[in-house]
Chains A and B, each alone.
Chain A
Amino acid sequence: MLGVIVLAGTAVTLWLSFVATPADAVQGEAVRLLYVHVPSVTVAYVACGITFVASGMWLWKRTEWWDLVGSSAAEIASVFTAVTLLSGMVWGQATWGTAWEWDPRLTSTLFLFLLLVGYQALRAASPDRSSRARRSAVVGLLLVPNIVIVNRSVQWWRSLHQDATLFRTDLDFRIEGLMLFTWVFATAVGLVLLAWLLMHRFRIGWLANRVEERRLGDALTARRAEATS
């Protein structure tokens, strides 16, 4: 059901982004990239938040469930952070005239991506399930302080990046009408996509653990059979 909603939502988003909405007066056609860029970064941050909460919950409850939720969300966050970076670079090339600018928000997003890559590398390197869960829960819990500290430096460095347009505390949105609707709609579709991916990644992780247990059980049975024969 969620998959169908995502497919339909993506189709509507594509239509809104490319057909229904006009080109921007300043940014021209490049504005259409922001309908991918902003939802991607929102999904990436929400997924990081899920990893943070799940890591904290694992440290409290120590269940496989929380380990799988945290690691699945971190994987999804890596993908969406990469999409954010790539779409931002293409947008930057079109608007600023350069694909990479040492803008702090851009740089801190790259660091978020590297932190997430480190998380995946640690999981891949950990030999057994309990050690993997324990180590990755600590790294997952530290994701948020790391992101906050890196983002604080954004406030201190002079920034080329335009100010936040959508998430303003005074609710004085600076885009209007159909463009704003497309943005909000694309973000909503992104969040449903996150839920759908999370569900399936969790299921694959759960099944992989069952396969691992079964292989271990089979190997033990085979050894016992060898010993008694």
Chain B
Amino acid sequence: MLRDAVLVAGKDLRLEVRTRVGLGQVLPFAVLVLVLFGFALDPDRGILDAATPGLFWVTVLFSAVLAVQRAFAVESAEGVRDALRLTSLAPGGVFLGKAAAIAVQLLVLEVALGVGVVVLYGADPAGWALLVGTAVPATAGIAAAGSLYGVLAVGLRVRETLVPLLLLPVLAPVLLASTRAFEAALDGSPADGWPWAGLLALFAVVYLGCGIGLYGTLLEES
């Protein structure tokens, strides 16, 4: 299964590197959202400082929706899903591969957004262990849930509107937990943030488990 996951993740990442949709569209979109938050909340009033962790993760979630839609748009073309089924790859491996490719893209995006909030919002990064310990399970959870809900909408005419409606309520606990953990890290009280990081790890484990178990059913569509 892991070998299949590496194959699928490699295929998706190669596609992204060659088409440059992530770099050319999703990343600029994320930076644009950061700038728009700056316009809306006025950098001089101190609201941006207080809201930085939340704005960072809201931007990640919006970008994740785009990344998920992109990851499954390439599977929507006629016959691609049948071809994928005929390859005899383990469904759990396909799921893990899709999730890993989305996670890698999101981690790159988060690094770029991190630089963005330091430069644009004047955030002062602190508590690196907690920041990384939050970002990794949060990204794994977002990618796992995104892969599962993303494949649900494959082949539907309304998939662009359906994916955010299905995915964002599910990811709400991730936003809540990662924002609280980042706040704790930036406030210099990491002990308050680690339980939230634990919740994120639990979320990621639940969704990785559900994805491995249920993906086969969703791929067998005729």
Residues of A whose CB lies within 8 Å of any CB of B are: 59, 111, 114-115, 117-118, 121-122, 125-127, 130-131, 134-135, 137-139, 141-142, 145-146, 149-150, 152-153, 156-157
A138 to B222 Cα, complex, angstroms: 16
Residues of B whose CB lies within 8 Å of any CB of A are: 148, 152-153, 155-158, 162, 165-166, 169-170, 172-173, 176-177, 195-196, 199, 202-203, 206, 210, 214, 217-218, 220-222
Q: Find B170's partner among A59, A115, A153 (CB 8 Å cutoff).
A: A115
Q: Which of chain A's residues have a CB closer than 8 A to the CB of B222?
A: 130
Q: Find A134's partner among B158, B195, B218 (CB 8 Å cutoff).
A: B218
Q: Which of chain A's residues have a CB closer than 8 A to the CB of B158?
A: 121, 125
Tell me whether A121 and B218 are in contact in the complex, defined as CB-CB below 8 angstroms, given that A126-B156, A152-B199 are known contacts: no
A131 to B217 Cα, complex, angstroms: 10
Least CB separation from B221: chain A residue? A131
- The reply to whether A115 and B217 form a contact with Cβ atoms under 8 Å apart is no
Identify whether the interface residues of B are mostly helix, strand, loop, or mixed. Answer: helix
Q: Which of chain A's residues have a CB closer than 8 A to the CB of B156?
A: 125-127
Q: Which of chain B's residues have a CB closer than 8 A to the CB of A121?
A: 158, 162, 165-166
Given contacts A114-B169, A134-B220, 17 further A-B contacts (CB under 8 A): A117-B165, A118-B162, A118-B166, A121-B165, A121-B166, A122-B166, A125-B162, A134-B218, A135-B152, A137-B217, A138-B214, A138-B217, A141-B210, A149-B203, A149-B206, A153-B173, A156-B195
A142 to B155 Cα, complex, angstroms: 21
A216 to B196 Cα, complex, angstroms: 53
Q: Which of chain A's residues have a CB closer than 8 A to the CB of B176?
A: 153, 157
> Which 6 residue pairs spanning A and B have beta carbons closest together?
A114-B169, A118-B166, A125-B158, A125-B156, A118-B165, A149-B173
A117 to B206 Cα, complex, angstroms: 22
Least CB separation from B164: chain A residue? A118
Least CB separation from A107: chain B residue? B172
7 residue pairs A–B, Cβ–Cβ below 8 Å: A114-B169, A122-B152, A131-B221, A135-B218, A149-B199, A149-B203, A150-B173
Q: Which of chain B's residues have a CB closer than 8 A to the CB of A146?
A: 169-170
A131 to B218 Cα, complex, angstroms: 9
Q: Which of chain B's residues have a CB closer than 8 A to the CB of A122?
A: 152-153, 162, 166
Q: Which of chain A's residues have a CB closer than 8 A to the CB of B210?
A: 141-142, 145
Name the distance in Å between A4's Cβ and chain B's nearest Cβ. 38
Least CB separation from B222: chain A residue? A130
Q: Which of chain B's residues have a CB closer than 8 A to the CB of A149?
A: 173, 199, 202-203, 206
A127 to B158 Cα, complex, angstroms: 11
Name the distance in Å between B64's Cβ and chain A's nearest Cβ. 16
Least CB separation from B174: chain A residue? A149
Name the distance in Å between B201's Cβ and chain A's nearest Cβ. 12
Q: Which of B170, B176, B177, B199 has the most CB of A within 10 A?
A: B170
Least CB separation from B167: chain A residue? A118
- The reply to whether A111 and B169 form a contact with Cβ atoms under 8 Å apart is yes
Q: Which of chain B's residues have a CB closer than 8 A to the CB of A130?
A: 221-222
Least CB separation from A152: chain B residue? B199
- The reply to whether B169 and A118 form a contact with Cβ atoms under 8 Å apart is yes
A110 to B177 Cα, complex, angstroms: 18
Q: Find B214's partner among A115, A118, A141 (CB 8 Å cutoff).
A: A141
Name the distance in Å between A140's Cβ and chain B's nearest Cβ. 11
Name the distance in Å between A81's Cβ and chain B's nearest Cβ. 12
- The reply to whether A139 and B169 form a contact with Cβ atoms under 8 Å apart is no
Name the distance in Å between A66's Cβ and chain B's nearest Cβ. 14
Q: Which of chain B's residues have a CB closer than 8 A to the CB of A137?
A: 217
Q: Which of chain B's residues have a CB closer than 8 A to the CB of A134?
A: 217-218, 220-221
A114 to B172 Cα, complex, angstroms: 11
Least CB separation from A124: chain B residue? B158
Q: Which of A59, A114, A137 has the most CB of B within 10 A?
A: A114
Q: Which of B157, B169, B173, B203 has the most CB of A within 10 A?
A: B169
- The reply to whether A111 and B217 form a contact with Cβ atoms under 8 Å apart is no
Name the distance in Å between A70's Cβ and chain B's nearest Cβ. 14
Least CB separation from A142: chain B residue? B210
